[in-house]
């Protein structure tokens, strides 16, 4: 019996249980689980890549990037339409205010010329959010979601932090912290772009 005839003879209930080619599978890094796929705002998102942010020899956080479809270059990620998610889980305790400052510096290092002035209000507000949190502990998770009809939504420990950031360029500016020409961590950039086997 040919493979095609074999599959055609299987009951539908069995076919629905078979894994689809190219279907994602959950990824675990440093004890952090990244679902694949997940649903965001009614859209199914795939885990594009996941990795660990190191500072010197210290593990700082595990991070996953979710998109509607896979993208292997920074430009392709930035151009992808529809909802997107950045998921970050801390691997060590850190001063939240300091993390906010590092994000601002990462945006400054990677923002296209002429765009920085438009990003300042959003960066100030995000800095204030992190300052109010005071401390992030190992195991704490936060997500940064781009929802086309809403804006950028920051959720920390399951709680939405204030109103959405409306500007589309704000989410892309945050993405460039990790995917821009001067990324926070080159190995993490490759991991998020699916280039390290994850």
**Predicted local distance difference test score (pLDDT) of residue 46:** 97
User: Is residue 90, in this structure, part of any structural domain at all?
Assistant: yes
Mean pLDDT of the chain: 88
Asked if residues 96 and 134 have their Cβ atoms less than 8 Å apart, the reply is yes
Residue 8 clears pLDDT 90, i.e. is over it: no
Residue 40 clears pLDDT 90, i.e. is over it: yes
Residue 12 clears pLDDT 90, i.e. is over it: no
User: Is residue 11, in this structure, part of any structural domain at all?
Assistant: no
Closest CA to 175 of 164, 167, 183, 163: 183
Which domain range does residue 107 map to? 21-192
Q: The tokens of 6 are what?
A: 């074999």
Residue 26: pLDDT band (50, 70, 90) is confident
The total number of structural domains in the chain stands at: 1
Task: Give the side-chain half-sphere CA count within 13 A for 6.
Answer: 3
Query: Which has more confidence, 11 or 126?
Result: 126
**Predicted local distance difference test score (pLDDT) of residue 195:** 87
User: Is residue 1, in this structure, part of any structural domain at all?
Assistant: no
> What SS3 state is found at 163?
coil
Residue 10 clears pLDDT 70, i.e. is over it: no
User: Is residue 5, in this structure, part of any structural domain at all?
Assistant: no
Average pLDDT of 45-59? Answer: 94
**Predicted local distance difference test score (pLDDT) of residue 38:** 96
User: Is residue 54, in this structure, part of any structural domain at all?
Assistant: yes
**Predicted local distance difference test score (pLDDT) of residue 6:** 42
Contacts of 33 (CB under 8 A, 6+ apart): 26, 27
User: Is residue 55, in this structure, part of any structural domain at all?
Assistant: yes
Residue 15: pLDDT band (50, 70, 90) is very low
Q: What is the share, in percent, of the chain residues with pLDDT greater than 70?
A: 86
6-10, 72-76, 95-99 — which is least confidently predicted? 6-10
User: Is residue 177, in this structure, part of any structural domain at all?
Assistant: yes
Residue 70 clears pLDDT 70, i.e. is over it: yes
Dump pLDDT digits (tens) for 92-130: 999 999 999 999 999 999 998 888 989 999 999 999 999
User: Is residue 156, in this structure, part of any structural domain at all?
Assistant: yes
Q: What is the CATH number of the domain that holds 128?
A: 3.50.70.10
């Amino acid at each position: 019996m040919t493979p095609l005839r074999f599959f055609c003879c299987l009951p539908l209930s069995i076919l629905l249980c078979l894994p689809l080619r190219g279907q994602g599978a959950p990824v675990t890094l440093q004890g952090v689980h990244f679902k694949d796929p997940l649903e965001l705002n009614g859209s199914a998102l795939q885990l594009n890549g996941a990795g660990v942010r190191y500072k010197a020899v210290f593990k700082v956080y595990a991070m996953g990037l979710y998109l509607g479809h896979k993208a292997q270059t920074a430009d392709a990620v930035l151009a992808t339409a529809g909802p997107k998610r950045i998921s970050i889980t801390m691997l060590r305790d850190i001063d939240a205010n300091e993390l906010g400052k590092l994000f601002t510096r990462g945006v400054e290092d990677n923002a296209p010329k002429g765009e920085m002035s438009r990003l300042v209000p959003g960066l100030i507000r995000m800095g204030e959010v992190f300052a109010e949190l005071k401390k992030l502990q190992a195991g704490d998770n936060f997500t940064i979601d781009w929802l086309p009809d809403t804006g950028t939504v920051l959720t920390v420990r399951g709680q939405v932090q204030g109103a959405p950031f409306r500007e589309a360029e704000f989410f892309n500016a945050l993405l460039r912290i990790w995917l821009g020409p001067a990324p926070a961590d080159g190995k993490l950039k490759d991991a998020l772009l699916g280039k390290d086997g994850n």
